[in-house]
């Protein structure tokens, strides 16, 4: 898979949020929303505050001039001052609206700010996400059974046979399939992976988190399970959003991860290589997501291919490791992953007195 990251416009997501928020607030379309949106995007919060203060004073002064003209019964001057006052008041309201929407956006958490909907809604926003993350379909990689030794192949073959025997006819329980797939992984890839199921973070639940153990580091993959193999593209987009949400919460700015969408009972899989860079505010600065075509892993060769993808690391990772800039997602330890270290068993009864 070749690296082809797209640098995103710095204000793209902000403009989208401003437009949506302003449209909701101004249901009667009384304001020039496009102008307010542009103002919010181009001026800083400090500049907007300055303009609000300035135009508040100018509006008050214009109102005073109107009253003076009225007291003098100068209708022509009054009308002129009224027009000026109206223009200044409209400008003041625009600056206030721009400040309010920019302030709200600035304090939102990064995922909500940039995406705005849960990962489970990825399929409903497919085209938008494909553009935002620079999603492309690429030719299949050549990864396969060549990276597996004979002992590993035998384990995978036995695990696949056991999985097929345990699937009841007509079963359509996604959670049960998740349990079965986890057991398949743990049996076929024992000692080289560690699996975590139903990982909950930020009101999201990831189906499977897999740590691939390599000397000196841990490489991570996220997996989403589906019953219908026609949903695999949407499932990969959903995993993509899980990765972004997790990294924005944990303060991880550079990501390179192989992610999976798996279907049972039809034994299909789809694999993607996700890369993105986040800025200091954890907004997406550059992104690319290369999806390969779905493939069947019902045969031994297909299962070997799936295992090969899972045990492989992105080509560039080794180069990062040599330069000391390995993506942090590949080096997650207990603290960074949110996994709790093993706790010592606590006594529930009265404490024993120390012998003296």
pLDDT above 60 (res 28): no
pLDDT at 162 over 70: yes
Average pLDDT of span 169-173: 78
Q: How confident is the model at residue 181 (pLDDT cuts 50, 70, 90)?
A: very high
Query: Who has greater pLDDT, 31 or 165?
Result: 165
Contact (Cβ atoms closer than 8 angstroms) between residue 189 and residue 210: no
Query: What integer is the mean pLDDT of 5-27?
Result: 71
- Specify the pLDDT at position 215: 67
Q: What is the pLDDT of residue 187?
A: 94
Segment 91-116 mean pLDDT: 91
Please give the Cα distance from 84 to 78 (Å, whole number).
10
Determine the pLDDT at residue 143.
61
The 3-state secondary structure of 40-98 reads: HHHCCHHHHHHHHHHHHHHHHHHHHHHHHHHHCCCHHHHHHHHHHHHHHHHHHHHHHHH
Q: Which two tokens stand for residue 29?
A: 């379309």
3-state secondary structure the chain: CCCCCEECCCCHHHHHHHHHHHHHHCCCCCCCHHHHHHHHHHCCHHHHHHHHHHHHHHHHHHHHHHHHHHHCCCHHHHHHHHHHHHHHHHHHHHHHHHHHHHHHHHCCCHHHHHCCCCHHHHHHHHHHHHHHCCEEECCCCCCCHHHCCHHHHHHHHHHHHHHHHHCCCCCCCHHHHHHHHHHHHHHHCCCCEEEEEEEEECCEEEEEEEEEEECCEEEEEEEEEECCHHHHHHHHHHHHHHHHHHHHHHCCCEEEEEEEEEECCCCEEEEEEEEEEECCCCCEEEEEEEECCCEECCCHHHHHHHHHHHHCCCHHHHHHHHHCCCCHHHHCCHHHHCCCCCCCCCCCCCCCCCCC
Nearest to 234 by CA among 118, 123, 121, 125: 123
Confidence of residue 198 (pLDDT cuts 50, 70, 90): confident
CB–CB of 263/232 below 8 Å?
A: yes
Instruction: Decide which of 49 and 341 is more confident.
Output: 49
Write out pLDDT tens, residues 223-261. 999 998 888 999 999 999 999 999 988 889 998 999 999
pLDDT of residue 13: 73
In percent, how much of the chain has pLDDT > 70?
A: 80
How many other β-carbons are positioned within 10 Å of the β-carbon of residue 312? Answer: 18
pLDDT reported for residue 6: 56
CA distance 279 to 305: 35
Alpha-carbon distance of 242 to 209, in angstroms, equals: 11
The per-residue pLDDT for 345 is 32
Residue 29 has a pLDDT of 60
What are 324-347's pLDDT values in tens digits? 333 333 333 333 333 433 333 333
Average pLDDT on 270-279 reads 92
Q: Mean pLDDT, to the nearest integer, of 108-118?
A: 87
Report the DSSP pairing between strands 268-278 and 217-226: unpaired
Residue 65 and residue 36 in contact, taking contact as beta carbons nearer than 8 Å: no
pLDDT of residue 356: 42
pLDDT for 92 equals 95
Q: Decide if pLDDT at 348 tops 60.
A: no
Q: What is the mean pLDDT of the chain?
A: 82
Name the band, by pLDDT with cuts 50, 70 and 90, for residue 165.
very high
Instruction: Please choose, from the candidates 59, 121, 137, the residue with its C-alpha nearest in 3D space to the C-alpha of residue 92.
Output: 59
In angstroms, what is the C-alpha Rg of the chain?
28
């Amino acid at each position: 898979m070749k690296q082809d990251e797209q640098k995103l416009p710095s204000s793209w997501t902000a403009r989208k949020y401003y437009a949506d928020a302003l449209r909701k607030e101004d249901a009667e379309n009384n304001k020039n929303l496009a102008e307010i949106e542009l103002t919010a995007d181009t001026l800083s919060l400090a500049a907007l505050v300055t303009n609000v203060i300035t135009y508040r004073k100018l509006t008050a002064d214009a109102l005073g001039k109107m009253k003076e003209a009225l007291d003098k019964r100068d209708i022509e001057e009054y009308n002129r001052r009224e027009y000026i006052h109206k223009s200044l008041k409209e400008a003041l309201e625009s600056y206030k609206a721009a400040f309010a929407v920019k302030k709200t956006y600035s304090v939102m958490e990064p995922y909500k700010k940039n995406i705005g909907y849960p990962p489970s809604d990825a399929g409903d926003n497919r085209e938008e996400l494909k553009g935002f993350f620079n999603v492309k379909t690429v030719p299949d990689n050549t990864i396969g059974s060549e990276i597996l030794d004979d002992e590993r192949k035998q384990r995978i073959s036995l695990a696949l046979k056991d999985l097929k025997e345990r699937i009841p006819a007509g079963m359509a329980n996604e959670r049960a399939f998740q349990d079965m797939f986890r057991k398949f992984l743990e049996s076929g890839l024992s000692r080289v992976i560690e699996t975590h199921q139903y990982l909950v973070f930020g009101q999201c639940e990831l189906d499977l988190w897999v740590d691939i153990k390599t000397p000196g580091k841990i490489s991570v993959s996220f997996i989403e399970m589906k019953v219908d193999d026609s949903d695999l593209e949407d499932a990969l987009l959903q995993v993509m959003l899980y990765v972004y949400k997790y990294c924005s919460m944990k303060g991880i700015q550079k990501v390179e991860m192989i992610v999976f969408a798996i279907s049972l009972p039809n034994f299909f899989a789809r694999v993607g290589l996700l890369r993105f860079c986040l800025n200091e505010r954890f907004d997406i600065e550059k992104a690319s997501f290369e999806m390969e075509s779905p493939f069947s892993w019902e045969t031994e060769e297909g299962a070997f291919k799936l295992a090969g993808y899972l045990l492989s690391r992105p080509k560039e990772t080794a180069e990062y490791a040599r330069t000391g800039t390995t993506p942090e997602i590949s080096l997650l330890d207990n603290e960074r992953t949110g996994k709790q270290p093993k706790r010592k068993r606590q006594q529930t009864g009265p404490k024993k007195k120390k012998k003296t």
